[in-house]
Structure 1
Amino acid sequence: MMPTLRTALLFALAAIAASAVSAFAPIGSESTSHRHATSPPATGLRMAGDAAPASKYSKVFVAGGSRGVGRAVVDGLLSAGSEVVALVRTDEAEAELSALDGVTVARGDAFDYKAVEGAMDGCDAAITTMGQGTDPVGENGKRVDYVGNNNVIEAAGILGVTRVVLVTSIGCGSSKEAAPPSVFEVLKDVLAAKERAENVLIKYYTNMNWTIVRPGGLKSEPATGTAILTENNLAIGSIHREDVADLVVQALNSGNTERKILSAVDPEISASANAEA
């Protein structure tokens, strides 16, 4: 059985636990380790768990909102005061999300561009957390990691939605070296698809205020409130899904994260793993 994206990235944490903590530098902090000399860190972004200000966006489109990080993002947006339009495929997801005040459910498939554009119309921001992991690709040989995310990006461009947050993974693009080679080999197709979506957003949507968030190994446990976003592309570690969602909502509403690629990790989890080793 092929390992899941979560499991493989947790392997990465175990492989480098002894050195991971020194690689973390939260947004707004001073660090001498692996800093981007030409891109000073943004300031004013809190750690996960801190009280977030009211949302700057009245209606936010969410792709991937039926489970995992995306489901927690929906809750975070509602708490911040945004209305949510959630693109869903299944009856179960539609029933669950329709029961939430402030959520409009749009039934459709992210592989269908017209469905994405129709659902997003009228929104003033978009978040996509979609990912297929190491699950087999469909009959068309396509991955939602690229095609679905690309449809969200393209629809935002057509509709004039200028604020987009794309959630991918550590191991994409400039963070490739953060993942051990054995892990990268397992996930190379997944990461390549996510990286293609990143590149579309960065290279072709120059008028868009985008943010890319790359989480480390995902864990389905309660939020710790100690996770951070960092511009250090060599950062690696674990993070709880609820903390990723908290950081994504904060990033959406922070001008300090615009046009930045940020890794999302939890130094406290890595420090604990290091102490137990």
Structure 2
Amino acid sequence: MPALILFGARKGAGLAIAQAARAAGWAVTAVVRPGADASALVAAGCEVRTADALDREAVTAAFAGLPEDVRVATTLGGQDISVDDQGNRNVIDATKAHGAPGLLLVSSLGAGDSREYASPRLLAAIGAVLEAKTRAEEHLRASGLAFAIVRPGGLVDAPLSGTGQLVRMQDVHGFIAREELARLVFGLLADNRLLGQTLAAIDPSCPPPARYA
């Protein structure tokens, strides 16, 4: 049975990834911050462990007892941008220390070399977050791990469409449902396609939220 450890799994795309993996019969270890409501993860059959992403030792301890070839993914991010940066770097370092072969990082369009294509509106809203995510991306590339970086467009709550796309071009714009992103991410994990690629995730059929219409 394939095993996955997932950071940032409590809600949104992270929760959807965990649910997709469990539906496929995977053993899923979901890591959430202490005190977080993990009832949806428990209902999905995940093993829940707690760790503050900014606590290096706690993040490392979350891997205890897992197989060396465990798949690793992180969707960490939030209001505290240090989680986007240092939190993800702690996960990368713990992955390497455990001996796991690779890691999938969910970042964002507007990070790294896609920043030049980001709109002024996006940069004004979350420019500092994108810089933090860029630092995490750079740390992953320098780690020596096999990796995939997925940069979704704007995330929305909508049903699965089956039309989401992973593309190498970074000069793209658009939106994607969280569950559709989860489908694409789980496909990469299931096929073990951690080939050092950075991919944008968008869905041409996904309408923008009302505030963007």
Please confirm whether the aligned pair reaches a TM-score higher than 0.5, indicating the same fold: yes
Identity, % of aligned positions: 35
Residue aligning to 2:5 = 61
Say what the alpha-carbon RMSD is for the aligned residues. 2.0
Letter in 2 for 1:144: V
Residue aligning to 1:29 = none
Residue aligning to 1:76 = 20
Residue aligning to 1:131 = 77
Match of 2:128 among 173, 185, 189: 189
Structure 1 residue 182: Cα displacement: 3.0
Structure 1 residue 249: Cα displacement: 0.5
Q: Could you tell me whether the CA contact under 8 Å between 2:22 and 2:44 is conserved in 1?
A: no
Matched, 1:220 2:157: yes
Residue aligning to 1:112 = 55
Letter in 1 for 2:85: Y
Q: Could you tell me whether the CA contact under 8 Å between 1:201 and 1:210 is conserved in 2?
A: yes
Structure 1 residue 91: Cα displacement: 4.3
Aligned length: 207
Equivalent position SS for 1:143: helix
Q: Which has the higher contact order (CA 8 A, sep 6+)?
A: 1
Residue aligning to 1:89 = 33
Structure 1 residue 153: Cα displacement: 0.3
Q: Could you tell me whether the CA contact under 8 Å between 2:103 and 2:194 is conserved in 1?
A: no
In structure 2, do the counterparts of structure 1 residues 67 and 225 end up closer, same or farther at CA, with 3 Å as the change threshold? same
Structure 1 residue 99: Cα displacement: 3.2
Letter in 2 for 1:100: A
- Greater gyration radius: 1
Query: When the two structures are superposed, what TM-score results if normalisation uses the length of structure 2?
Result: 0.90
Letter in 2 for 1:219: V
Structure 1 residue 239: Cα displacement: 0.3
Structure 1 residue 252: Cα displacement: 1.4
Letter in 2 for 1:143: S
Q: Distance in 2 between matches of 1:172 and 1:92?
A: 28
Q: Distance in 2 between matches of 1:70 and 1:249?
A: 10
Matches within 5 A, 1:43-58: 58=2
The structure whose residues are more often strand, as a share, is 2
